[in-house]
Amino acid sequence: MFTIDRPTYTDLLTLYQPKIIDSEETYNKTLEALGQLMDKGENATPEEISMMNLLAILIEIYEDEKISKMDLEEVTPQEVLNHLMEAQDLKQSDLLPVFGSKGIISEVVNGKRQISKNQAKKLGEFFSVSPVLFI
């Protein structure tokens, strides 16, 4: 465990002003803030890492709530996948570890191929959501 410098963390709180995400605008601003911090990579300070964790939790809560509001009987697994990809600014190539083939990824994302149970399990782990969303 690392020690947080309170004045430095307070400055980050003032700069980023993290709060519960209640709109798409706040969601996008929070994603942008997280991206700025993540760009620091291994040079991130303990205070910045703590702020990244806080922002990631706020984003996850918003995404989970947004997905739970979808009527899952009217939403296809491909629509859920596309939403999650868009929300996390992912490209099809980012899903290569899940599907193993660019061709299969393209077919799944475009609705030409169904998501298998094994792929649904991997997608659930990849996005930290229930695999049921993809079946």
Token pair listed for 56: 């990631």
Over residues 120-125, the mean pLDDT reads 92
Question: Model confidence over 10-28: pLDDT tens digits?
Answer: 999 999 999 999 888 999 8
Q: What is the CATH number of the domain that holds 112?
A: 1.10.260.40
Looking at the domain assignment, is residue 110 inside a domain? yes
Directed axis angle between helix 102-109 and helix 77-87, to 10°? 110
The answer to whether residues 12 and 54 belong to one domain is: yes
- Final residue of a domain: which of 23, 53, 69? 69
pLDDT of residue 93: 92
As a whole number of angstroms, the distance between CA 92 and CA 108 comes to 10
pLDDT tens per residue, range 43-67: 999 999 999 999 999 998 888 877 6
Residue after which a domain boundary falls, among 52, 69, 86: 69
Report if residue 128 sits inside a domain.
Answer: yes
The whole-model pTM stands at 0.54
Kindly state whether residues 81 and 109 are assigned to the same domain.
yes
Q: Is 1 inside a domain boundary?
A: no
Domain hosting 83: range is 77-134
Instruction: Please tell me the predicted confidence (pLDDT) of residue 74.
Output: 74
Start-to-end CA distance of the chain, whole Å, equals 39
Q: Is it the case that residue 123 has pLDDT exceeding 90?
A: yes
Task: Give the pLDDT score at 70.
Answer: 63
Is residue 82 domain-shared with residue 101, that is, in the same domain? Answer: yes
Where does the pLDDT of residue 68 fall: very low under 50, low under 70, confident under 90, or very high at 90 and above? low
Domain assignment present for 100: yes
Of 69, 87, 111, the last residue of a domain is 69
DSSP 40: T
* Domains identified in the chain, total number: 2
Do 64 and 81 sit in the same domain of this protein? no
What is the per-residue pLDDT for 72? Answer: 57
How confident is the model at residue 71, as a pLDDT?
A: 58
Mean pLDDT of 98-121: 92
- Locate tokens 């303990």: which residue? 46
